[in-house]
Structure 1
Amino acid sequence: MTTPDAALTRTLELEGALAVALVDYGSGMALATRTNVPFDLELAAAVNTEVIRAKLRAIESLGLDETIEDILITLTGQYHLIRIASRPGLTGVFSYLVLDRARANLALARRALKQLEDDIDL
């Protein structure tokens, strides 16, 4: 296990990574952040908490027996990848990664967020 700061720094080394955060989706507060570019991760944490809550409500309303692994938001120049932690001890936490769409590899980004989850100790 490693500290959130060290794990986020390692994740940010991914090709095309612009910003990354760990967020408590109960409160919408960022627990730890790292960025390579100017990006308001505090605001993004709060807004993406609402995205997760809306999707959880949708799953419940549809009566699906499913859990969210990740959510991908595709913009014209960026990918925003949200991964809800599934490891015990990280309940209520998600990781949020902003990528440069022209340089990023989504498969590697998903793998990096899974590794982030496996590595951190809160």
Structure 2
Amino acid sequence: MNIDTALKEAMSISGAVGVALVDYDSGMSLGTSGGGDWLNLEIAAAGNTEVVRSKLRVIQTLGLSDTIEDILITLHRQYHLIRLMGGVKARGSLFLYLVLERDVSNLALARHQLKRIETELQI
């Protein structure tokens, strides 16, 4: 699936507020969907780039031979889910960033659906 289709599918996840495909090397979004007045996805994507970079540095410093699957940030009213793209080297510096309304979403199902989208996304 292409980027636009992947973003539309992510927005169909129950409780989805916004989604972005982000390059953490540059901090730039390759595409966004949703968001709104209170959720600027471009700013959120750039900020979460620092979260990913920081966690990758910690893993390297600890000498762990493992990779990040996803990062969850839990707020009182929202879940912020960062799903790193695995597989092909060209996808190695990308992540999907999904914001969910906590009251109406199912976190386990959202993680499962985001993993499927990540697997099917063609860059």
- TM-score range (shorter-chain normalised) is over 0.9
State the match for 1:115 in structure 2.
116
> Secondary structure at 1:34's aligned position in 2?
strand
For residues 20-71 of structure 1, give each alpha carbon's deviation from its aligned partner in whole angstroms, at most 9, with x where no partner exists. 1100010000001000643211101110000001101111111111110000
Runs of 4 or more above 3 Å deviation? none
Matching of residue 86 in structure 1 with residue 57 in structure 2:
no
For residues 85-104 of structure 1, give each alpha carbon's deviation from its aligned partner in whole angstroms, at most 9, with x where no partner exists. 11214111000000000111
> Partner amino acid for 2:99?
V
Q: Spell out the pairing of 1:1-122 with structure 2 (5 A cutoff).
A: 2-35=1-34, 37-38=36-37, 39-88=39-88, 89-122=90-123
Calculate percent identity across the aligned residue pairs. Answer: 52
Q: How well do the aligned residues superpose, as a CA RMSD in angstroms?
A: 1.1
- Equivalenced residues, count: 121
> Secondary structure at 2:66's aligned position in 1?
coil
TM-score by length of 2: 0.93
* Distance in 1 separating the partners of 2:109 and 2:35: 18
> Secondary structure at 2:57's aligned position in 1?
helix
**CA 1:36 to 1:25, structure 2 compared with 1: closer, same or farther past 3 Å?**
closer
Q: Which of 28-37 and 95-104 deviates more? A: 28-37
Q: Which of 98-107 and 37-46 deviates more? A: 37-46
Checking the alignment, whether the CA contact within 8 Å between 1:21 and 1:34 is kept in structure 2 is yes
The unaligned stretches of length 5 or more in structure 2 are: none
* Distance in 2 separating the partners of 1:111 and 1:37: 25
Q: Would you tell me which structure has more helix in proportion to its own residues? A: 2
* Distance in 2 separating the partners of 1:55 and 1:76: 23
> Partner amino acid for 1:69?
E
Checking the alignment, whether the CA contact within 8 Å between 1:23 and 1:96 is kept in structure 2 is yes
TM-score by length of 1: 0.94
> Partner amino acid for 1:93?
L
